[in-house]
Structure 1
């Protein structure tokens, strides 16, 4: 019976994600119809499952954070990856309210919020309630980050009526209050479950980004808020986390065992449950590599050049992957080989040698397949390529991020020496040379090196005042692009107000 409840509620969540008519009728939201104390565990499981679609792949929330940044480009390669300009518009900051990916992500993030809310009116235990409230806060933080206004309902509300909407200031206050309230009732672990330190990490992000959420064009950083960031980081540090010696073990098929720094993850069970996580390597690998990929996503060379040659985060060979296919982890540049050292070729018979040079529209038939540096952040689970359900747990939060947020809060409150020590602790572990000084610019670069392809870059660039700047294959952009537009198909809710400039 429990399994049937889980499956049934996931089906409801997925129907909202995929059915336009239902989305229009119910404003993209779900109530607690049919939820009782007898199946609350199943509905909580469905709340975790609802996180898969928007988060666990490169296509959705990750794309909105990364393709819009100075890290990632999805070049149009002749007829491949055109998609009516959807990828180009993200990188160029030329999207509009009818952008399908922005619309889908907004809908799916709200679905998490409403499925989690459904747990609360049905007699959950304190721990179940706290977990559901955390998942709701997690998704609402993303909505706040992306759109600056957040639809919400309380459990049991009439779903045929428009949801209420919090503005940025009200949502920030709500998240601070909500996360503070639930921490005592959350479990200590494991990382694959909503837990105390996951909530503290999210609360750090609320305090750190508060000034940016309230004034994106000119963020401010209140000393009291920065002190909260530092204090929460100190509390998390008592959890026994350490930086994982092999950086890529944090993302490996057995990262639940190998990582010593993962704070919050989504558990994926090999071959039986999981997500589109294999898209993290399929999106970037060439058709003639193993596994064959879609030859799309690439790293920008200006970002790649921020790494020292000794920096282990830049990549190298990886046991269980390179010896199986020849593919390295990290950034793939130059000639590619198979596991026997045989040089690979592209579909035209040219050397499969990925070039740093890449344009947003590639036309040269002898270059378009190899244009752009490729990235393997999650080591490939070859045992489960057939099922497309790899064993790698999806990583939401790591201890390295906590340390970098603490360093940033210290730097912004003139505690520069202590901040420098923290950053150099990370750099030394990663094989990079120590900084002699710390500035906002090299701290932003360090966040990029440590957290690339982890869905943070847009948020970081906005907070550091860099998001509208020109960068590789993108001119300077207008201030309206600091927020995504409310999707056209959501404006039937009169409480949602289109963001300025759209």
Structure 2
């Protein structure tokens, strides 16, 4: 049974300017007193809750990882989903420093970093302190990934001064050192709290992405770093605590805390009372006439969908507790849509609701507006809690399959092609896909796409594999500046920032 967090977190709607709004609105979060000051358990729980805004659901940092990639698109459907071009700008790589999603994600990720830092002011136990440091490292890794430079304060620093900023070389070294130090202090679980294996996975990601963070245009992969990835993976594998889950979508189900054998780090959601924004993983893609009533927005691209074999269980299908209630399947929704009685659903023009592979950034044909684009349901819908914003599905940050594929990638990049192929084929066979005859960086990238579609990692993968600037469906020419996001305009009052090149 899930345990409730001690308190609900007051949402950090803050500005992170170096010496003005940040300091005014984060007083209690940086150690000058304020709400919950001195109660370490409360402050630590508040740090977990702070992660909901940037991470849970598709409107925070997830949107910056998925919509600029070959996996996801938000077509403008006449007047729907226009939003002043913000969604199109993400997919077309035409964002600027005032982009709303870039600004809010930067703010909210830094909110996690500062909230976790605040915990360290109040004499936490070694376990509590290590957990806070892990959450801070987790958020700072995302900031480094997105923006290439990371603002920070040490506990108790003068908040009237601008926050300091670490550039990529210093920040990646800091993260590696910090995670190495805290791993022995962390607990072994549960997976919805900071734990040793989650920290090991984050450390693996630091070593694997190090060369990309230092040179995004031409990523490099140091053999010693890849050896670290392999060694950390083996520690997790040899622990015997995890295995691949028989039904892939059980990892994301409303009771995934019980069904999943491979989730290593999650965000706990308690159905009906204390949950993050998981519902927006199914409401924006679904049509207005489906159950629940959707927003008819998010879709994937046909070229990405074609990467799956028909027998690959990750492509989806009927799911008990979902399809029998609403007719909605999990995975990729394509073609005629039906209700739970098998009756064809109509669109608002009384045409059959047939989701098409064809989709464009701007849809103008009135007969195609409502059906353009294959839809994606990664998290099985929680109808027990009304498919609302109080869904039970724990949000998934890290899974065991990522340990396997990171190990295979590190092996491949150091010439251990045979062992890498064995690891990848063991996963593919388990998922119902045919075995590869050989392993290359290209089909490994495709495999990561199949395994982690719509999990908020695609942009990072495309950059590390040197593919982010290549044209793909509905995205043509590109600009190297887009390998990092701009520092938001409203943060540049901090003189320690240097705006990223090209913005």
Using the alignment, how far apart are the partners of 2:149 and 2:270 within structure 1?
35
Using the alignment, how far apart are the partners of 2:341 and 2:5 within structure 1?
48
Using the alignment, how far apart are the partners of 1:403 and 1:465 within structure 2?
21
1:342/1:4 CA distance change after superposition, 3 Å: closer
TM-score by length of 2: 0.96
1:326-365 alignment to 2 at 5 Å? 326-365=327-366
Using the alignment, how far apart are the partners of 1:159 and 1:304 within structure 2?
49
1:80-95 alignment to 2 at 5 Å? 80-95=80-95
Q: Which residue is 2:205 aligned to? A: 205
1:26/1:484 CA distance change after superposition, 3 Å: farther
Q: Which residue is 1:423 aligned to? A: 424
Using the alignment, how far apart are the partners of 2:343 and 2:20 within structure 1?
53
Using the alignment, how far apart are the partners of 1:312 and 1:458 within structure 2?
24
Q: Which residue is 2:471 aligned to? A: 470
CA contact (8 A) 2:322 2:329 kept: yes
1:5/1:268 CA distance change after superposition, 3 Å: closer
Using the alignment, how far apart are the partners of 1:347 and 1:265 within structure 2?
38
Deviating 4+ runs (over 3 angstroms): 3-7, 17-30, 35-38
Using the alignment, how far apart are the partners of 1:200 and 1:231 within structure 2?
10
Using the alignment, how far apart are the partners of 1:20 and 1:317 within structure 2?
50
Q: Name the Cα RMSD after superposition.
A: 1.9
SS at 1:263 equivalent: strand
CA contact (8 A) 2:428 2:435 kept: yes
CA contact (8 A) 1:6 1:43 kept: no
1:37-436 alignment to 2 at 5 Å? 38-239=38-239, 240-385=241-386, 387-436=388-437
2:459 corresponds to 1:461: no
Using the alignment, how far apart are the partners of 2:92 and 2:13 within structure 1?
32
1:309/1:121 CA distance change after superposition, 3 Å: same
Using the alignment, how far apart are the partners of 1:275 and 1:97 within structure 2?
28
CA contact (8 A) 1:74 1:88 kept: yes
Using the alignment, how far apart are the partners of 1:254 and 1:19 within structure 2?
40
1:28/1:214 CA distance change after superposition, 3 Å: farther
CA contact (8 A) 2:18 2:161 kept: no
1:226/1:243 CA distance change after superposition, 3 Å: same
Q: Which residue is 1:496 aligned to? A: 497
Using the alignment, how far apart are the partners of 1:123 and 1:398 within structure 2?
32
1:26 deviates by 4.8
Using the alignment, how far apart are the partners of 1:361 and 1:82 within structure 2?
9
CA contact (8 A) 1:31 1:158 kept: no
1:375/1:21 CA distance change after superposition, 3 Å: farther
Using the alignment, how far apart are the partners of 2:236 and 2:169 within structure 1?
26
1:25 deviates by 5.5
Using the alignment, how far apart are the partners of 1:88 and 1:387 within structure 2?
27
Using the alignment, how far apart are the partners of 1:214 and 1:80 within structure 2?
39
1:241/1:362 CA distance change after superposition, 3 Å: same
1:141/1:19 CA distance change after superposition, 3 Å: closer
CA contact (8 A) 2:19 2:159 kept: no
Using the alignment, how far apart are the partners of 1:93 and 1:201 within structure 2?
29
Q: How many residues align?
A: 497
TM-score by length of 1: 0.96
Using the alignment, how far apart are the partners of 1:4 and 1:93 within structure 2?
39
1:237 deviates by 1.0
Using the alignment, how far apart are the partners of 1:63 and 1:102 within structure 2?
9
The structure 1 residue matched to 2:21, chosen from 20, 23, 42, is 23
What do the CA deviations read for 1:324-349 (whole angstroms, capped 9, x no partner)? 00011000000000000000001111
1:15 deviates by 3.8
Using the alignment, how far apart are the partners of 1:341 and 1:393 within structure 2?
30
CA contact (8 A) 2:19 2:161 kept: no
1:6 deviates by 4.2
1:386/1:234 CA distance change after superposition, 3 Å: closer
Using the alignment, how far apart are the partners of 2:440 and 2:26 within structure 1?
43
1:283 deviates by 1.3
Using the alignment, how far apart are the partners of 1:19 and 1:231 within structure 2?
40
CA contact (8 A) 1:266 1:396 kept: yes
Structure 2: gaps spanning 5 or more residues: none
